[in-house]
A = this chain, B = another copy of it.
Amino acid sequence: MSATAETVPASAPWEIREATAEDWPAIWEILEPVIRAGETFTWDPDTTEVQARDKWFKTAPGQTFVAVGTGGSDGMVLGTGELHPNQGGGGSHVANAGYMVRAGYGGRGVARALCAYSLQAARDAGFRAMQFNAVVESNVRAVAAWQGMGFEILGTIPEAFNHPRLGYVGLHVMYRRL
Contacts and interface: CB of A to CB of B under 8 A. Distances in A.
Interface stretch (A7-15, A101-109, A116-124, A157-165): A157-165
B173 A154 contact: yes
A83 B90 CA distance: 22
A27 interface: no
A89 B173 contact: no
B154 A131 contact: no
Interface of A: 38-39, 41-45, 47, 86-94, 128-129, 131, 133-134, 136, 154-164, 171, 173, 175
A146 to B, nearest CB: 15
A136 B163 CA distance: 31
